[in-house]
Amino acid sequence: MEFSLTNQLIQHFDGDCAVMFAVDQTSDNSAIKALIEINHFDAESGSILTLNSVSGFKAQRVMVLGLGDAPVTEKNYVKALNTLSVNLASAKVKNAMIAQVDIDGCDQPWMHRTTARVIKNAVYKIKKVGVDMSADKDNVIENIAIQSGSDNAHELAQGQAIANGMALTRHLGDLPSNVCTPTYLAKTAQDLAQEFDLECEVLEESDMSALGMGSLLSVSKGSIEPPKLISLSYCGNGDAKPIVLVGKGVTFDSGGISLKPGAGMDEMKYDMCGAASVLGTMRAIAEMRLKVNLTIVVPTVENMPAHNASKPGDVVTSMSGQTIEILNTDAEGRLILCDALTYVEKFNPEVVVDIATLTGAVIVALGKHHCGVMANDQNLADDLITAGKTALDTAWQLPLDDEYDELLKSNFADMANIGGREAGTVTAACFLARYAKDYRWAHLDIAGTAWVSGAKKGATGRPVPLLTQYILDRAK
């Protein structure tokens, strides 16, 4: 799919489909306005009216998208684009032109970047295992021209790069755990390094043992799949300190000895979506060639019950030297992240953000709309929240107070790996905060946003838009 900018009048576009917008059942074009009234079209957000052979238009058909009430909001615009993408594909449109529209508080760069990203992401298709989809071109949109007063297509390329990163994240998340193993994630990182000339290092179990990563290795020892610690670095800004993203990569989480219920356990293949999101973000940033230094670190394991698996009550020693009483083996994500958070000190980071499908409690707190953000630096939290609002990939801040940290006390170690039933998302972050005291750090809990269940089950690609927007803002 290719995107371009044009100052051509939309009536003169002679391709398959011209796309217009309507607000409050009105349109700037008199012919379209009359047809809206004749068809009793309600221009609510996400509605669409398809017209054929419209007088004065060269295009074969005209699609009119409802944008709801004025002033038009970013959310209603994105909702309209998602509706458009589905209808363009079902109508087998190969080339289309989208009319210019004003969105309250949004400039043209945002419009261009968002339009390209949303449309390309909306036509993403889940790839079935063992099925070659390369020949499936029936519903492929080839060219989309966007009416604009600018000829700078830079932001269009950025939007496509973000969508490509989301596609990688979604694909990795959707793969079954017998395919997407820690070794597979390592190979994915190595392939990205080769494609974009990145620096890649993969630590094996023996390397991690030598570094004293007893917490991480306690999770993987019950599985036949060998653990990996992956780092991937992009250098676009000389000797500047890097932004470091750490992504939780539990490729399947059975819960270990604290076994999860069987219903819905198949979705625990998505417990590596933090890892998938940082790999997708790296792909987007490397494709954009931003003037920024970025390093991603992925601790990746499989959590399985076995005769040698960790047991509730075991005590392990992390890379930092702090000891941990494992009260629940299903609280394993923090056990691999804590050693990764100690490891990243070697990169002398400007800032560290970890991304993890860490707690079911965040879904109870925030549902499926916002990811949870907690940080030891308020400016960092504010920057991530702002980036999320800009990218429409939102985050909501939760507290990180000392009173919650006290719930992690243990009689037998420096800390327990859980803090009880209350405030589970916050106590998980408090646990991680103990390993991130030497740098600016934030934690994103994406358990509610990384995938959807039901008939449309699949990875969402979030929070790649939030993370890439945060990095874009730093690269200015």
Q: How confident is the model at residue 77 (pLDDT cuts 50, 70, 90)?
A: very high
User: Average pLDDT for residues 76-102, to the nearest whole number?
Assistant: 94
First to last CA, the chain: 28
pLDDT value at residue 283: 98
Tell me the pairing of strands 61-66 and 48-52: antiparallel
CA-based torsion, 88, 90, 93, 94: positive or negative: positive
User: Average pLDDT for residues 200-223, to the nearest whole number?
Assistant: 98
User: What's the pTM value of the predicted model, to 2 decimals?
Assistant: 0.96
CA distance 447 to 293: 27
CB 190 within 8 A of CB 271: no
Q: How confident is the model at residue 150 (pLDDT cuts 50, 70, 90)?
A: confident
Q: How confident is the model at residue 128 (pLDDT cuts 50, 70, 90)?
A: confident
CB 357 within 8 A of CB 248: yes
Indicate the domain borders of the chain.
2-149, 162-474
Half-sphere exposure of 178 (CA within 13 A, CB side): 2
C-alpha triplet 444, 450, 454: angle, nearest 5°: 150
Q: Is the pLDDT of residue 23 over 90?
A: no
Q: Is the pLDDT of residue 136 over 80?
A: no
Name residue, tokens 């945002």.
110
Mind giving me the DSSP string for 270-335?
GGGHHHHHHHHHHHHHHHHT-SSEEEEEEEEEEE---TTS--TT-EEE-TTS-EEE-S-TT--HHH
Q: Is the pLDDT of residue 133 over 70?
A: no
CB 312 within 8 A of CB 180: no
Q: How confident is the model at residue 37 (pLDDT cuts 50, 70, 90)?
A: confident
pLDDT value at residue 24: 66
Q: How confident is the model at residue 139 (pLDDT cuts 50, 70, 90)?
A: low
User: Average pLDDT for residues 167-193, to the nearest whole number?
Assistant: 98
CB 257 within 8 A of CB 309: yes
CB 263 within 8 A of CB 249: no
Q: Is the pLDDT of residue 135 over 90?
A: no
pLDDT value at residue 263: 94
CB 451 within 8 A of CB 457: yes
The top-level CATH class assigned to 162-474 is: alpha beta
pLDDT value at residue 370: 98
CA distances from 470 to 241, 318, 473 (A): 16, 30, 5
CB 58 within 8 A of CB 102: no
pLDDT value at residue 327: 98
Q: Is the pLDDT of residue 204 over 90?
A: yes
The tokens for 426 are: 């916050």
pLDDT value at residue 131: 80
**How do residues 376-411 score in pLDDT, each as one tens digit?**
999 999 999 999 999 999 999 999 999 999 999 999
User: Average pLDDT for residues 271-290, to the nearest whole number?
Assistant: 98
In percent, how much of the chain has pLDDT > 90?
A: 87
Element (H, E) at 444: strand 441-445
* Maximal CA-CA distance, the chain: 80
Q: How confident is the model at residue 32 (pLDDT cuts 50, 70, 90)?
A: confident
pLDDT value at residue 225: 98
Q: 343-359 b/e with 16+ CB inside 10 Å = b?
A: bbbebebebbbbbbbbb
CB 252 within 8 A of CB 275: no
**How do residues 457-472 score in pLDDT, each as one tens digit?**
999 999 999 999 999 9
Active site residue ranges: 260, 334
Q: How confident is the model at residue 146 (pLDDT cuts 50, 70, 90)?
A: very high
CA distance 351 to 428: 20
Q: At what angle do helices 182-196 and 273-288 cross, to 10 degrees?
A: 0
3-state SS class at 96 = strand
pLDDT value at residue 138: 58
Q: Which residues in 100-218 belong to E strands, given as ranges?
A: 143-147, 199-203
What secondary structure letter does DSSP report for 5? E
CA distance 112 to 99: 12
Please state which CATH number belongs to domain 2-149: 3.40.220.10
CA distance 382 to 13: 43
The tokens for 207 are: 């390397």
Share the mean pLDDT of the chain.
95
Asked if domains 2-149 and 162-474 share a fold, the reply is: no
User: Average pLDDT for residues 362-373, to the nearest whole number?
Assistant: 97
pLDDT value at residue 137: 58
Q: How confident is the model at residue 250 (pLDDT cuts 50, 70, 90)?
A: very high
